[in-house]
Structure 1
Amino acid sequence: MTTSFTIDGIDVVTLPKVSLHDHLDGSLRPETIIELAEAEGIELPVLDAEGLGLWFAEQSNSGSLVEYLKTFDLTCAVMQTREGLTRVARESVIDLARDGVIYGELRWAPEQHLTAGLTLDQVVEYVQEGIEQGIVDAAAQGQMIRIGQLVTAMRHADRSLEIAQLAVRHRNNGVVGFDIAGAELGFPASKHKAAFDYLAQEHFPVTIHAGEADGLPSIESALYDGRALRLGHGVRLAEDITIDGSDAEATFVTLGTLSQWVKDRGITLELSPSSNLQTGAIAAWGTDILDHPFDLLYQLGMTVTVNTDNRLQSGTTLSKELWLVADAFSYGLSDLEAFQQNAAASAFLPLEDREALADAITEGFIEAVQNSR
């Protein structure tokens, strides 16, 4: 059952939404993990769905990205076969549609799903098969959704060019963009120059995890070496913003050259509030949603979006994340619509499709208000 998160008398679940930063291997249903693990003989720390969901949440609340990432050993373990990949992808799409998402991009790393003998091309095809099944099943329930794959390379490995070529090879089979993810500190985008040069030559869009577990140099490398159109998280861009004055009379905000560049060029920040707390990405500012620099970035005119990152690990949905920031910063429907319009404009889709998506969001918000009267 979907939990209700109400803003201005309207359930956020009923609003049309766009999800840009959502990891496929972080979106599994606990009951699915249990069933797949049993079939594959994989040992689990907890054997009931509710308890397993709590286990993931507890393991993820470490304050460290490195520790947080260890939970993916288990989710990836049950995603090594055609059955596992298609089922997880199908259910992930259905869950997004039930949450009111009308367009989503699911990112995942094919190189982490080869232990059962599948090839890189096969795993991409099987995930796409599951995505298409999920779209059909959602439509049967009256929920229309469109999904693109973001093929991801692990930044600590040496297969990024191969994975970039894989992504381009499947650009007409559901793959809409490329990403690098994993342990950020010590593994800047510059280490994957060959991959990013190739993607630029192929006119293929890139988003890069940066500004989560590392600071401004990582963001700079993502923009310069990776030609990133979007920043995965990017929350630590706030380190390049200086706030002077604490009294009510005068507060001066100064942007550094990097943050000014990101603002002026409309480079999208894929912010994930709950995840940013769990991984310690906002530790410099505090340990509560209220401490998140989301509102600062928004008020300064940055292209901010709200995302889940990993629905399982954070025990969240996109509606919940939107409600959390709205509750923390006293946002109304107009703010939530602005975040969705930012996401629609930043989607890795053709211009005409992005414009149609923007229209659907506008119409959906108007309809929601009218229905609430």
Structure 2
Amino acid sequence: MMMMKSINVMCNSRLFLEGILGLLSAFGPFVMDMYLAAFPEIAMFYRTEPSMVQLSLTACTVGLACGQLVFGAVSDAFGRKNPLLASLILYVVASFVCMESPSITIFIAMRFFQGLAAAGGVVISRSIAADRYAGAALARMYGVIGMINGVSTVVAPMFGGAVIDGWGWKAVFLLLLIIGLVMFLGTVALPESLPVASRQRLNPSVFVQGMKMVATNRKFSSPTVQYGFVMAMIFINLASGPFIMNRYGLTPGQISLVFGVNAVAIAIAAGVASGCRSMRKTMRIANIGMLVFAFATSATLLLELGFWIYEIAVFCMYLFIGGMCTASTTLAMEAERENAGMASAIFGTIGFVAGGIVSPLVGIGDILLTTSLLFVVVSAAAFYLSSLKGDRNISIK
């Protein structure tokens, strides 16, 4: 009896909730990026073209985008816990089939379902936070989630590379499977956060109406678009960074280390931003800083300055990107607390769509010029949005 009481206390503690929500939110980056270093090995294993292996990444990204819409709506109708458990079961099964796929076609299909299932953890983790917290407490929670998510976004390729070097590409999917099982056990102990009285009816008309209502709420749509710009900036760097650093003569191990250092910048900034009193003011400051250091990074590339100047500029840019992650997430989810599942779905989908759009653009023409232009254009668009008159009244304390 005492043991059960202790377990219940632990499962309702803030530390437990922050930990499991943070890890669930990190599913997206780990599922997308952890196997990147294995592309050549997978192509050899299936005796296929590199483009077919790259298609598996596209399939996963599409799954992550679609899955957030599906699980966001379902969690608003049936509560958070059961849809989350269902997504984790699908995730474990898809991870196993990825590891044992007899052909590249099945592997690509399973990557879609793996992304679809992982989206459940990403979208429902934000919804649970919005159910449980408000105001400054919500900002703190999203700060913690932002730190974990930001770190995982750039650490995943590095960690995956180490696993592949030691045990081969299939070991990555075995590890992802184990992570899914651990998250399943943690979710079993997680209390339901959405009362029955607060749940929405699930049918196509309500779904469309809910999407329209959420998307037309300026207090929600504005920070959501800002989040899209933030994710675009991160994906521009992820897509271009390895090639740029290779030009500077860095080895794969050194490139991984640099990504890890930049992850620390996002984590620090997300934590600092979560303690700020005004998320609107935080967003404004972060917008200005991101724009300034986007120009600085572009200048280092176009002038072909030394590596350390380039890295300092990117690190500083990531500091402001981390602040924007926390501010945009808090503003958006606070604005649609009554439709948290749908809001979280739209919010997350916009981020992945934005990242998916800019990633292939990096490879067009000279990578230094294209990357510079993308950094400046995206950061300038984010700054312009934040400076619009109607946008200044969007605030949360």
Q: Which has the higher strand share?
A: 1
Q: Which has the higher helix share?
A: 2
Q: Does the TM-score normalized on the shorter chain lie above 0.5?
A: no
| TM-score between the two structures when normalised by the length of structure 2 | 0.26
User: Which gives a bigger RCO, structure 1 or 2 (Cα 8 Å, sep 6+)?
Assistant: 2
